[in-house]
Amino acid sequence: MQDYPVTLVVVMIFKALLTLALALYHHRKNAPRPPLREGPGVSVLIAAYNEEVGIGQTLQSVLSVPYSPLEVIVVDDGSSDRTAALVEEVAARDARVRLLRQPNGGKAAALNNALQHARYEVCLSIDADSIVTPDVIGHLARHFYDPQVGAVAGDVRIAGVKGLLGRFQRLEYVVGQHLDKRAQDTVNAVVVVAGATGAFRRDVLLEVGGYSRDTLTEDMDLTIEIARRGYAVRFDPHAVSYTEPPATLRDLWKQRLRWTYGTLQVLIKHRRAVFSRTAGNVGLIGLPYVLLFGLLCGPTTPVFDAAVLSLVLLSGDAREITIGLLTTIGLEFGLTLVAVLMGRAAARDLWLVIPQRLFLRAFVGTVIVAALWRLVRRHQVGWQKLERRGIIGCDALATPTTAADEVPLEPSPTPLEPVPTPLEPVAVPFAAEATDSASPAALASMPLPLTTGTTPPPPASPALATRALPIPARRR
């Protein structure tokens, strides 16, 4: 037992340095490329339940993207506010937008409904509380010219940050994307294509049966299923989107409890994929990494912090104490600094690295224990809707890449086939959720870059109309 703190410190430091090395390699091998402006058709799928506060901003960001062909399918999942009315106003002025209505059935059911109506080869899932940068679709779409790619994750960031809690989450997201996810992509072991911004090959979505409602984290569940079918899952750090973070400690607890409980459900559902070659490196590396460092080591991270502190304090040597503390602080600060630089994120919150680490490690460790307890006692965790305030202070609607940087496409003789194979509808009732109380007046009058017409717009060029994706090909 005396060697336990030392062993834990060595393991955590080795993990951090290995992750850093893989992330730096990924950064070197993935230099920025101009985004496509024309390419494979993209169907944007948005599930919305009581999202009147943010749906206008979400649609504005998507419709501002200079990419074609593009369609936007919004599924109103039984909202009791003005979500559907706001979307209808947009759809009446822009033929690319379609509104579907359904009784409240949950996010997975709403996305499956949208998938049945998708006309194009690439389906881009966007949360109704997120906004995308003008280049995000062009960066994600290019990956699907590789027939082995089944899904691509974008770089999800925090916007509308207010207070210390929001700044803590902003640092957490930057490190998670530009260290952990870059490292996972380097070894072909990306385990989550986040629902906030995730692109999928439509044929692959249909092959796996669409979004499953077996777990609370349908995005992770879907990603693992795609990997188990032999398709590659990628991460593009240049496809940036922004999402609204929980603003209160209570909302953060509800969000992380759902994420953790859902992760446990996914691990149980796909337990045969862990250490299995059939799931590729997602099974050999990704899932074991989540199990070891995400769940088993999660509750012990506060012990790691205490172990480091005890090692330097028990040494009895002021010089060793100083060196030990500076080494620990320097490692944490250095890792965060590298992530911030690779992600070209704001560095103004770097001074919060140490308090952020100490707080979130203890908080997440407590959440993991609570989720495990609920799982053992068979207490269900529901999808608890968070309070929406809208995204502010975000640069997602900035000027996109200039036309001079656009990548031309060569025509292909193979025509597109935009008619999807329908999924079997499944109705699973979810408990009704509370309506957001924030006023939508500002969003109702928000100007949108809209076109007019009653039919979908034609492709931007003759070459585009004949540019088809290759037939999907599995790794094995």
pLDDT value for 197:
92
Sheet holding 232-243, edge to edge: 97-102, 68-77, 38-48, 122-126, 197-201, 149-158, 232-243, 130-132
What pLDDT is recorded for position 304? 65
- Give me the pLDDT at residue 303, please: 67
pLDDT bracket for residue 6 (50, 70, 90):
low
pLDDT of residue 163: 86
Percent pLDDT > 90 in the chain is 56
Average pLDDT over residues 298-327: 66
**Reported pTM:** 0.81
Q: How far apart are CA 70 and CA 42, in angstroms?
A: 5
270's tokens? 């796909």
CA angle 197, 473, 203 (to 5 degrees): 50
**Out of 33-37, 203-207, 249-253, 315-319, which region has the weakest mean confidence (pLDDT)?**
315-319
Q: In this predicted structure, what is the pLDDT of residue 332?
A: 84
Q: Indicate the pLDDT class of residue 318, thresholds 50, 70 and 90.
A: low
Mean pLDDT score across all residues of the chain: 80
pLDDT at 435 over 50: no
Task: Tell whether the model's pLDDT for residue 429 goes beyond 60.
Answer: no
pLDDT of amino acid 459: 40
Which tokens go with 311? 């090692």
Q: CA–CA distance from 372 to each of 259, 298, 302 (Å)?
A: 12, 12, 17
| Higher-confidence position of 424 and 353 | 353
Is the pLDDT reported for residue 418 higher than 90? no
- 277-286, 317-326, 443-452: least confidently modelled range: 443-452
Residue with the larger pLDDT of the pair 200 and 309: 200
pLDDT score recorded for residue 160: 72
Mean pLDDT check: name the lowest of 128-142, 239-253, 322-336.
322-336
Contact 71, 96 (CB under 8 A): yes
Rounded Cα gap, residues 45 and 39, in angstroms? 18
Adjacent-strand bridge partners of 234: 152
Instruction: Please compute the mean of the pLDDT values over residues 411-416 and round it to a whole number.
Output: 35
Paired tokens of 159? 């916007």
> Is the pLDDT at 203 greater than 70, yes or no?
yes
Cα distance between residue 241 and residue 447, in whole Å? 20
Nearest to 154 by CA among 44, 49, 318: 44
Domains and CATH numbers, the chain: 4-407+414-450 (3.90.550.10)
pLDDT of residue 294: 83
pLDDT band at 255; cut points 50, 70, 90 = very high
Q: What does the pLDDT read at residue 256?
A: 94
pLDDT tens digits for range 218-243: 999 999 999 999 999 999 999 999 99
Report how far residue 87's alpha carbon sits from residue 99's, in angstroms, rounded to the nearest whole number. Answer: 7
**Res. 305: pLDDT tops 60:** yes
pLDDT, tens only, 361-387: 889 989 999 999 999 988 888 766 666
Residue 435 vs residue 448, higher pLDDT: 448
CA neighbor of 126 nearest in space, from 99, 150, 156: 156
Token duo for residue 123: 């389906």
Give the least confident one: 57-61, 149-153, 178-182, 326-330. Answer: 326-330
Is the confidence at residue 314, as pLDDT, over 80? no
Higher local confidence (pLDDT), 319 or 128: 128
How high is the pLDDT of residue 26?
Answer: 96
Residue of 457 and 272 predicted with greater confidence: 272
